[in-house]
Amino acid sequence: MKTNPNKLWLIVLALGWLFDFLFSGILFSGQTLGINFAIFAIACLIGAFYLLLGDGLRPHRSSLILIPLFIFFVAVTFWRAESMTSFLAYTFTLVTLTILTVTYLGGRWLQYTFADGVAKLATLAGSVVARPILFSNDVRKAQAESGVKPSKYNFMPIIRGLVIALPIVAIFAALLASADVVFGQRLDDFIKLFKLEDLPEYIFRLIYILVIGYALAGIVLHAATESKDEKLVAEGKSLIPPFLGFIESTIILGSVVALFAIFVVIQFQYFFGGTTNINVEGYTYAEYARKGFGELVTVAFFALLMLLTLSAVTKRESETQRKIYSGFGITLVLLLLVMLFSAFQRLNLYEAAYGFSRVRTYTHVFLIWLGLLLVATIILEILRKERLFAIAMLIASFGFAISLPILNVDAFIVNQNIKRELTQTDAVDLDSQYFIQLSDDAIPVLVNALHSSTLPDTVHEKVAAALACIRYEREKYPKEYSWKEFHFARFNADNALVSVRSELDQFEIDDERYPYSVTAPSGNEYSCSAYYYD
């Protein structure tokens, strides 16, 4: 890139302009995210690879593992509409790009510890700020030493000159317009001709185009110069040398293990007793399931954090001490697994009694991945590979983020709650109102349920009432979407609603009072007011 720096600047400024083209509607016109995010992310990746490969800098094979993950998450951003799934898709798209940037040449990200991650992020942040300036200075220095004259196609002086000149000319033009009426009129005509009344907006957009281009240049230059991973933090001296004695640590671990063991013994009767034991103790489903669930997950998190901290600061001067400490640590994690199983049982009872919601579904999936992380912790402790816990946590995080779009959270909720009404022995009323607040991901599934011949008419009516409310809200507040906002979830939802237009036309919306309601052909009335619960 030093031999042809203009190529770098042209590409990053083009990407800055592309950002403005794709996202200015969000900043100034209230548009929404859609396929525009995926287009920009892919363009940035292609531009970076073009620059790096053009300089003969090939990525490490381990770093290429991140490309399929990037493609998956970037596709989810315009395929799933559920809020948590979308948030994780955007987040992990950026995470994969960040890891790829800091490990492009070295590819040792699977060996990173927490200290390595923090150090790499700090270095990347420094590169974003300083690397483009250092690169420009190095280019000028190299040209001066070799006697090469600056390229006549160097656009950076022109850009810098325009950026400085624009506000100066604007100030003098305003003063001259005040001094002479005729000049002021001509200036107004000129402004109207080029819509220069939006000049502040144009200046703001130019500034963030330059800022984004500058930051992207820093990221590409970091991948080219700082991603070799020649030495990791853990390969040198420990940042915090062990300072806590073995006896003190074993007392701490032993005390916590004893407390957890007592708790597990008391709780063990509930693992297989289910509702019988709950009724004996005088608890309802909700009281048993909700009471203490959050606390159990919190205990698991902080106990794991305590174990990792103690492992980092505890002196283990002999093989016997290492074995004893590992034994306590493994016992602690095993007890945590039992406690998580208790929390999982509580959640199952709560879902059986009240159905699935988004929060319950998130928690359900999260507990599975947290349990797998605890199992990985035991394995790493046995193999004495504790430094790999950071990558185990990263993999578990990726697993959770991948699971939600594959599961299709809102579609899963619809299917499970309908199935629950059909399979429960006790009388259960389908809460079709909750469906109204779900995203576009749920609409095709609701339409399929409406068309299903295996469902009873009562379920069909409740599903149709929810769809009638959803359609009414969409038609009451219509919105035109540009191609940049295209989203497959919305596209599929629109098509699904069109396919049941005749069925939904039989439902009458009463919007004279709030909350709105819908009346079915049978005469049953359903509220269109969605409410939220955990």
The string of pLDDT tens digits covering residues 50-86 is 999 988 899 999 999 999 999 999 999 999 999 999 9
Tokens describing residue 94 = 């950026």
**pLDDT tens, 351-376?**
777 778 888 888 889 889 988 998 88
Q: Which residues pair with 527 in a beta bridge?
A: 517
Tokens describing residue 523 = 């005469």
Question: With pLDDT > 90 as the criterion, what percentage of the chain qualifies?
Answer: 30
Rounded CA-CA distance 54/432 in Å is 57
The band of 280, judged by pLDDT with boundaries at 50, 70 and 90, is very low
Rounded CA-CA distance 150/152 in Å is 6
Rounded CA-CA distance 414/449 in Å is 9
> Closest by alpha carbon to 396, among 411, 416, 380, 410?
380
Terminal CA-to-CA distance of the chain, rounded, Å?
A: 53
Judged by DSSP in three states, 510 sits in strand
The band of 348, judged by pLDDT with boundaries at 50, 70 and 90, is confident
- Spell out the residues 6+ positions from residue 248 whose beta carbon is closer than 8 angstroms to its own: none
Phi, psi dihedrals of residue 95, rounded to the nearest 5°: -65, -45
3-state secondary structure 56-75: CCCCCCCHHHHHHHHHHHHH
Query: In the prediction, which pLDDT does 240 show?
Result: 65
Is the pLDDT reported for residue 136 higher than 80? Answer: yes
When the pLDDT of each residue in the chain is averaged and rounded to a whole number, the result is: 83
Is the pLDDT reported for residue 273 higher than 60? Answer: no
**pLDDT tens, 287-304?**
555 555 667 777 887 888
- Give the Cβ contact number of residue 107 at 10 Å: 20
Question: With pLDDT > 70 as the criterion, what percentage of the chain qualifies?
Answer: 87
> Closest by alpha carbon to 413, among 481, 362, 347, 480?
362
Higher-confidence residue of 382 and 284: namely 382
Is the pLDDT reported for residue 201 higher than 80? Answer: no
Rounded CA-CA distance 86/83 in Å is 5
Map tokens 């939600």 to a residue.
404
> Closest by alpha carbon to 90, among 101, 100, 79?
79
Is the pLDDT reported for residue 271 higher than 80? Answer: no
Higher-confidence residue of 525 and 342: namely 525
The band of 285, judged by pLDDT with boundaries at 50, 70 and 90, is low
Averaged over 187-192, what is the pLDDT? 74
The band of 205, judged by pLDDT with boundaries at 50, 70 and 90, is confident
DSSP structure class, residue 388: G
The mean-pLDDT minimum among 9-23, 32-46, 312-326, 453-467 falls in 312-326
